[in-house]
Amino acid sequence: MKFQTILLVIEVGGTLAFAMSGLLEAIRKRMDIVGVFSVAFVSAFGGGTVRDVLLDRRPLFWVQNQEYVWLVIALVVTAPLWVKTFRHRLTENAMEFADACGLGLFAISGASIASAAGMPPLVAVLMGAITAVFGGVSRDVLCNQIPKVYYDHRPYTLCAVVGCAVFLGANAIGVAQQLSMVVGICTATGLRVLAVIFGWKLPAWPLRKG
């Protein structure tokens, strides 16, 4: 597979995972179909759009690949057929896992695009984190709540940051581009899954005694 193909697969996977998280959150807020579509759309494309705007890339990735937009439309239109399955206890777990996949996929996609655009490592890591997290942050802002990733004290953005650092590090020591990306994605998504399963907690900030 070529680099372009890998990027495409990454973006499709991440897009679907994040659109689903937006869709489920919008339904929970009892929005109408327009709200559900808008929040799903922003969750899926928000991070990548901000990355493209900050890096001044045009056309935007969802303009160049319209299939993504159709995918999200299909996801929303078919929601009544499969959403019931996600009710009850399953909902939380499904959203966690979709989020973890999107997290890893989007982070490495953002970091690799920024890196290919000549950005230094620090900026590439930040772009990876922004790509991964900004869709979810926008989703929560539109749903009128403090972004979950800012206060739940469970590692999320940090997993993306570590994954991006691993990807860039592997690349820097000569590992092939494709393998570096796979390793980075697995690191970010895997760390997030482990964090959820084992209930890892970040300390409050600043550290408090007593």
Summarize as ranges the residues that interact with a copy of itself (CB under 8 A): 26-27, 29-36, 38-39, 49, 53-56, 58, 60, 63, 66, 69-70, 76, 79-80, 83-84, 119-120, 122-123, 126, 133, 137, 141-147, 149-153, 155-158, 202-207
Are the C-beta atoms of 149 and 156 separated by less than 8 Å? yes
In the complex, least distance from residue 14 CB atom to a copy of itself, rounded to whole angstroms: 19
7 or 69, CB closer to a copy of itself? 69
Tokens read off for 165: 């650092």
Q: Could you count the other beta carbons within 10 Å of the beta carbon of residue 149?
A: 19
3 or 82, CB closer to a copy of itself? 82
Tell me the CA end-to-end span of the chain in Å, nearest whole number: 55
In the complex, least distance from residue 17 CB atom to a copy of itself, rounded to whole angstroms: 19
Whole-number Å distance between alpha carbons of 103 and 128: 9
145 or 178, CB closer to a copy of itself? 145
Q: Whats the size of the chain, residue-wise?
A: 210
18 or 156, CB closer to a copy of itself? 156
Give Cα 79 to chain centroid, integer Å.
Answer: 20
In the complex, least distance from residue 112 CB atom to a copy of itself, rounded to whole angstroms: 17
Spatial CA neighbour of 1 closest among 155, 166, 144, 178: 178
In the complex, least distance from residue 1 CB atom to a copy of itself, rounded to whole angstroms: 27
